[in-house]
Structures are given as structure tokens and as C-alpha cells.
Amino acid sequence: MRNTNQLNTTTKNLFPQSFTASTTKNIWRDQLIRRTSGDRLDQAAINVGDIVYLKPVDGPAFRSRVIFNTPIAGQTTYTSETVGHPRIRARFHHADVHAVESAQELRS
């Protein structure tokens, strides 16, 4: 049987703090403020590459780029990462988005 304490110590020595990637904060759907219903965004399409504006419950609003979307339990779930610092990855539904900048409009 392995000594897990020894294994953990060895792993810590192989990957010192200076070589670890920058920390990414994850924000989940329950940590976001939903927009009001009946908004003009209800019919707006959100695609990979679009910039979305999200408002966390405990902080200022931020903008992030959609990097992934998939249907889960009958509703599309999106994943986005902030454009600048600090690094934030958010997972959300359409109702959590307060504004959208289309990637196609940004390119033209």
C-alpha cells in the first residue's frame, strides 16, 4: 500500500508555486443575478465567440467571451471566460445574460 503523504510531498516538490497556472475563479448560475423577464434579449441568439455581460450577486458586472454551449436537461448552458483580468469562468443560462455583443458584428 502506498504512503499517500509521501506521494503528496513528492508532487508538491515537482510543481512548485512558481510553475502553477494563474488561478481561475468559477462562477456558477446560482451566483448570478437573472435579468427581468420580457426583456428584448429573450429572443437574442448567443453563439460561441459572442461577448456577454453578467452580473454576479456579490460583485461588479463583467464581460466575458462565450467559449462553449451545450444543452443540459433541456436548456442550453453556456460557458464563458473573461476577456481581461481577473480570470473568471462562468457557467450560465440565457436568462442570466444582461447584454450581448455579437462576434459577427464585432468583426465587420
Determine the pLDDT at residue 108.
54
In this prediction, residue 46 carries a pLDDT of 93
Stretches where the chain sits below pLDDT 70 are: 1-22, 106-108
Domain segments of the chain as ranges: 22-107
pLDDT of residue 4: 47
The verdict on domain 22-107 having CATH code 2.30.30 is: yes
- The residues, any chain, with a CB within 8 Å of residue 76's CB and separated by 6 or more, are 46, 69, 70, 93, 94
pTM over 0.75: no
